[in-house]
Structure 1
Amino acid sequence: MAAGRFPVCGRKTSGPTQTVKVVVLGQAGVGKTAMTVRFVTKRFIGDYDPTLEAIYHHRTFIDDNPVQFEVLDTAGQEENSLALEQKIRWGDAFVIVYSINDICSFEEVMRIKFLINHTKGPNTPVTLAGNKRDLELDRMVARLDGEKMADTLGCGFSEITTKESYIEVARVFEGLYARWKEQTLTKDVRCRSPKSSPKLSPRPHIRRVKNLLKSTTTGKHLDVPSFGANFC
């Protein structure tokens, strides 16, 4: 990570603070809460109640721009899809976490991404994070498989060890912010670009006028009263 990314006393900032709502999703036990707390506090805490949910607030600087993260740390996703969709509607961008030593958590990624696509649209910023890289001896999901999954689903991808590296965790959120910002700018440009006027075909009564005028050149009688009624 480049130096100077995080708050420094007296720093001059460019522009107002941007707020991005991030939802962290994944099966229970993959390290969602540990990852979120690591990002917000830089500390690693290994044991959490997997049934609790919370929103964490974290202000930082990315490329000298102030950014306010609101991070929803969700409980395990064994819940019904309707409850999960409600949380997805809240978010702007998403981290889907799986554990490299848990194949079931990796297989759950597809379902979660489908729900995001269904609820927010296929272009929603999403990054896939393979956590617990420090448990290499217990690995069940190859890095290449994670990369292929991310490529197939159109997501960003990282393999991280929340336990051993704060920088790797921070890069996940910074990369997600970059994807979100790029999409937001693209939307703004699309909304501001002038829309081309549709090419209008002649209205039926105009065509009728032309046909009637043409008929006068062939010597046919023009019924003026009838024509006036139809034109209006």
Structure 2
Amino acid sequence: MSSNAIRAIRRKKSTLSEVRVAVLGGPSVGKSALTVRFLTKRYIGEYDHQSENRYKHEGLVDGEPVLFEILDTCPKPADGDSAEFSAASWADGVLLAYSITDRSSFDHARKTRQKVYEKCLALSEPRPLPPIILVGNKSDMIHLRQVSTEEGEILAKDWDCWFREVAAAEQVTQVAEAFHEVVREVWTARRQQQRHGRSGNLLAAAAAATASASSPALNTSISSSCLLASPSFPPSGALPGQGRAPSPVCPPPSTSSLLGRVLGARAYARGKSDSALPKD
């Protein structure tokens, strides 16, 4: 990393965004090669680790400082699906890899995503699937190809996710772009959760106002209070592409009823759409 990039990270330390990334995939698809290529820009062809490895790395994504925490998984047959589900549950986003030279690894990726999705729904408190991107590794080994580019594109379209074929052995920028895309997907998911949370707060306030409209004493007691408070997310600072978090929305003093104040309040000021976010 250049000295200018390091200085930029230090200047923006207060807005550092933390993102946890799990690298999933079948055996020998190049998970460690992809991870190490991203972290060090070096390529190491052979790995013989028997357990998962976790790394921390600071970098810039679209000019914003990010603290990556990357989990390089090492699934074992005895673990079944539990290890990959635990990794996906821990992560903010997932890089799911397969090898274009191994048909079984492509099937493994497809089944892994489906099983993680089913387990997320089966929890006592169901949660959404973490953002996932699909990466076909070893694209330099065309003579051994077993999975076509079109198959990867079709699967990614079914999942509505980002897809790219890369070669950890030869490419640096393309591999880094894959990890950066995980961060962008996580940022998009966080913004959506933030918006949904604000919408839920507004609906709840409206329902409470309707229920208490017949109570003059209650209306008087809360006439000077704020109706909504913006959520303090993320805890590590403002989201990239966004300014300071909106101030709590207070009712205008001229309105006569609590319900009118609720319906007249704005939960947030809509910013740029996700499609307008800068891309590398």
Same fold by TM-score, threshold 0.5 exceeded?
Answer: yes
Residue aligning to 1:183: 189
- Point out the more displaced range, 115-124 or 97-106: 115-124
Deviation at 1:110, TM superposition (A): 1.6
CA contact (8 A) 1:132 1:161 kept: yes
* 1:99 to 1:110, Cα distance in 2 relative to 1, 3 A: same
* 1:144 to 1:10, Cα distance in 2 relative to 1, 3 A: closer
Residue aligning to 1:9: 7
The CA deviation string for residues 160-217 of structure 1, in whole angstroms up to 9 with x for no partner, is 00010110110001111111101101111111221142877xxxxxxxxxxxxxxxxx
Aligned residues: 197
- Report the identity percentage: 31
CA contact (8 A) 1:50 1:76 kept: no
Structure 2 counterparts to residues 109-128 of structure 1, below 5 A: 109-120=109-120, 121-128=127-134
Residue aligning to 1:163: 169
SS in 2 for 1:145: helix
Structure 2 counterparts to residues 85-104 of structure 1, below 5 A: 85-104=85-104
Larger radius of gyration: 1
Asked if 1:172 is matched to 2:170, the reply is: no
Residue aligning to 2:259: none
Asked if 1:29 is matched to 2:35, the reply is: no
* 1:152 to 1:14, Cα distance in 2 relative to 1, 3 A: same
Deviation at 1:76, TM superposition (A): 3.5
Q: Provide the rounded CA distance (Å) in 2 between the counterparts of 1:99 and 1:28.
A: 10
Deviation at 1:50, TM superposition (A): 4.8
Q: Provide the rounded CA distance (Å) in 2 between the counterparts of 1:77 and 1:162.
A: 23
Residue aligning to 1:42: 41
- Point out the more displaced range, 185-194 or 165-174: 185-194
Deviation at 1:118, TM superposition (A): 2.9
Q: Provide the rounded CA distance (Å) in 2 between the counterparts of 1:139 and 1:24.
A: 22
TM-score of the pair, normalised by structure 2: 0.65
CA contact (8 A) 1:51 1:76 kept: no
- Point out the more displaced range, 44-53 or 23-32: 44-53
CA contact (8 A) 2:12 2:65 kept: yes
CA contact (8 A) 1:116 1:122 kept: no
CA contact (8 A) 1:29 1:50 kept: no
TM-score of the pair, normalised by structure 1: 0.78
Task: Give the residue type in structure 2 aligned to 1:117.
Answer: Y
CA contact (8 A) 1:99 1:132 kept: yes
CA contact (8 A) 1:100 1:130 kept: yes
The CA deviation string for residues 84-140 of structure 1, in whole angstroms up to 9 with x for no partner, is 322222111001100000000001112110133234455521000000001011111
Q: Provide the rounded CA distance (Å) in 1 between the counterparts of 2:150 and 2:44.
A: 28
Asked if 1:67 is matched to 2:77, the reply is: no
Task: Give the residue type in structure 2 aligned to 1:137.
Answer: H
Give the unaligned 5+ runs of structure 2: 121-126, 212-280
* 1:50 to 1:130, Cα distance in 2 relative to 1, 3 A: farther
Deviation at 1:83, TM superposition (A): 2.9
SS in 1 for 2:26: coil
CA contact (8 A) 2:24 2:84 kept: no
Q: Provide the rounded CA distance (Å) in 1 between the counterparts of 2:106 and 2:196.
A: 35
Residue aligning to 2:148: 142
Q: Provide the rounded CA distance (Å) in 1 between the counterparts of 2:8 and 2:106.
A: 44
Q: Provide the rounded CA distance (Å) in 2 between the counterparts of 1:52 and 1:123.
A: 25
The CA deviation string for residues 23-72 of structure 1, in whole angstroms up to 9 with x for no partner, is 00011100000100111111111110153310011100112211011010
Q: Provide the rounded CA distance (Å) in 1 between the counterparts of 2:188 and 2:8.
A: 28
Give the unaligned 5+ runs of structure 1: 201-232
Residue aligning to 1:56: 55
Asked if 1:197 is matched to 2:195, the reply is: no
Q: Provide the rounded CA distance (Å) in 1 between the counterparts of 2:119 and 2:68.
A: 21
Asked if 1:82 is matched to 2:82, the reply is: yes
